[in-house]
Amino acid sequence: MMFRPAFPLTALLLLAPTLALAQAQATIKPDGQFRSAFGAGASYASGNTSASSVNLSGDAVRATADSKWQLGGKANWGRTDGVTTVENLALGTQYDQDITPAWFGFGKADFLRDKPANVSSRASLFGGVGRHVVKTDTLTFDLSAGLGYTEDRYVDPADVNGGFRSRYGRAEALLAEESRHQWTETTSFHQKLSLYPALRSGGGYRGVFDSGLSVAMTNALSLTAGLNYRYNSDPGAGLKKGDTLFVTGISVKLD
């Protein structure tokens, strides 16, 4: 969906008082230099509702004409009426290397910790190939596929894939699509959808969707909004299959 530049700026200004922070987006330039973006936010409320939250995010990218290395992370913590409702940490890195102008190979590693979802740790390692369907200065669109391995460790033992387990490892496939849009000089949008079907019969599948909108206020500061959705077809008894996180805020670029 295409927005006129004034609309996202107005929407983000209305949402900014939540003081949460979307995933920071570093500038990508094919010059072999690392560029990064960081942010932090917090909120506090007392009275009829007692609530507080802290959000941190960071993104670093090193790109050349035929490669890209990206590192990112985000942490969220929230407490409402004395109960911790959000406590997660996500870290990831991916390296892409062009094989031809249209095709590339990649390797990626991810880590997740989410106590409310009963995930003490989730570590994944994948490799595969992808294709640059569109690659211009204002729009990139990639498709990729690969194979890898994921292991979950649980805070409390869970009934997963027909057994009561404290940990669960499995081989998975990876199918992903990703795009970056430079709508105007000040407005950019990024989204990525990744599906992880288990290769073991009856192992279920996972899905992750990330998106972020950024509107530059200065060369260094941007208003941001991001949506993250995680799905697990077999999260364990008593847990919901989907987790949604929407955050807004301000990011700082270090170019």
Q: What CATH number is given to the structural domain containing 116? A: 2.40.160.40
Residue 6 — very low, low, confident or very high, per pLDDT cuts 50/70/90? very low
Is the pLDDT assigned to residue 41 strictly greater than 80? no
Asked whether residue 105 is domain-assigned, the answer is: yes
Is the pLDDT assigned to residue 18 strictly greater than 70? no
Q: How much is the pLDDT for 21?
A: 36
Asked whether residue 94 is domain-assigned, the answer is: yes
User: What ranges make up the beta strands (E) of the chain?
Assistant: 34-45, 51-63, 67-80, 83-98, 103-114, 119-135, 139-160, 163-182, 187-197, 205-216, 221-232, 242-254
Tokens 């490892």 appear where? Answer: 169
Q: Could you tell me which residues are beta bridge partners of residue 114?
A: 88, 119
Residue 24 — very low, low, confident or very high, per pLDDT cuts 50/70/90? low
Question: Helix, strand, or coil here: 199?
Answer: coil
Asked whether residue 10 is domain-assigned, the answer is: yes
The residues, ordered by sequence, that sit 6+ positions from 34 with a Cβ below 8 Å of its Cβ are 60, 61, 62
pLDDT digits (tens, 9 = 90+) for 81-93: 888 888 999 999 9
DSSP class of residue 24 equals P
pLDDT digits (tens, 9 = 90+) for 55-79: 888 999 999 999 999 999 989 898 8
pLDDT digits (tens, 9 = 90+) for 173-227: 999 999 999 999 999 999 999 999 999 877 789 999 999 899 999 988 988 888 8
Contact 110, 140 (CB under 8 A): no
Q: How much is the pLDDT for 26?
A: 82
DSSP line for 122-154: EEEEEEEEEEEEEE-SSEEEEEEEEEEEEEEEE
Q: How much is the pLDDT for 248?
A: 77
102 CB burial (10 A radius; 0-12, 13-18, 19+) = exposed
pLDDT digits (tens, 9 = 90+) for 42-54: 777 877 778 888 8
Q: Which domain holds residue 237?
A: 6-254
What is the residue type of 109?
A
The b-or-e profile of 183-209 (16+ CB within 10 A means b, else e) is beebbbbbbbebbbebeeeebbebbbe
Asked whether residue 26 is domain-assigned, the answer is: yes
Is the pLDDT assigned to residue 162 strictly greater than 90? no
Contact 222, 22 (CB under 8 A): no
Is pLDDT larger for residue 162 or for residue 165?
Answer: 165
Asked whether residue 1 is domain-assigned, the answer is: no
Is the pLDDT assigned to residue 13 strictly greater than 70? no
Alpha carbon distances (Å) from 64 to 22, 72, 106, 112, 129: 26, 18, 15, 29, 18
Alpha carbon distances (Å) from 247 to 24, 87, 181, 222, 228: 11, 15, 20, 14, 9
**C-alpha–C-alpha distance, residues 187 and 178, integer Å:** 18
Q: How much is the pLDDT for 89?
A: 93
Asked whether residue 18 is domain-assigned, the answer is: yes
Q: Domains in the chain: how many in total?
A: 1
The residues, ordered by sequence, that sit 6+ positions from 81 with a Cβ below 8 Å of its Cβ are 49, 50, 51
pLDDT digits (tens, 9 = 90+) for 140-152: 999 999 999 999 9
For residue 104, the number of C-alpha atoms closer than 13 Å in the C-beta half-sphere is 22
